[in-house]
Structure 1
Amino acid sequence: MAFLKTILIILLVYYLLKILARLFAPKILSYAAKKTESHFRQAFDNQHPYNEQEEESVIINKKPTRKKKDSEKVGEYIDFEELD
């Protein structure tokens, strides 16, 4: 009889925890998400402080690409013919 009572108590505790987890899990997860967001926002703001300054113009000069000559091409063209 004690064995049955122990199994019954374990099952009741299991289902009680399952019900409580369904009730409180969304609140706990939203709290954790807010804390994580604030942590990342604070870390980003510390790394890149926002200053109201004029934006600096950036000029990128690229060298013109040169075309490859026929002798510089890799490999060769092979024409395959279909045999009957």
Structure 2
Amino acid sequence: MDLAYFSSFIRTVLIIIVAFYALRFIMKLLAPVIVQQVVKKAEQHMYESHTKQDDYRQPRQKAAEKPQEKKKVGEYIDFEEIE
């Protein structure tokens, strides 16, 4: 009975060790691809946010180039207090 528990324990430990090393090996192969995809996605996000900022800036620059004339309502009169 004790021998069955010991052999199943050894088998479980070996499965865990093999799974760990297999996962490490797979990650070494896939890590460059995953990192490349993450960098590409971040680059795309930065480009999109930059173009959106340019779209918002262009109308403001045009408005700044052509100042609107203010309507003249009347002339300014300075009143003085009478005591």
Q: TM-score range by the shorter chain?
A: 0.5 to 0.7
Q: Pairwise mapping of residues 1-84 of structure 1 onto structure 2 (< 5 A)?
A: 1-49=7-55
1:17-76: CA deviation from partner (whole Å, max 9, x where unpaired) = 00000000000100110001101110111012386xxxxxxxxxxxxxxxxxxxxxxxxx
CA–CA distance in structure 2, aligned partners of residues 47 and 13 of structure 1: 48
Amino acid at match of 1:7: V
Structure ranking higher in helix proportion: 2
CA–CA distance in structure 2, aligned partners of residues 37 and 16 of structure 1: 32
**Unaligned 5+ runs, structure 1:** 52-84
Number of equivalent positions: 53
Spell out structure 1 runs of 4+ moving beyond 6 A.
none
Normalised by the length of structure 2, the TM-score is 0.58
**Unaligned 5+ runs, structure 2:** 1-6, 59-83
CA–CA distance in structure 2, aligned partners of residues 47 and 7 of structure 1: 56
Which of the two has higher C-alpha Rg? 2
Normalised by the length of structure 1, the TM-score is 0.57
- Identity rate, percent: 31
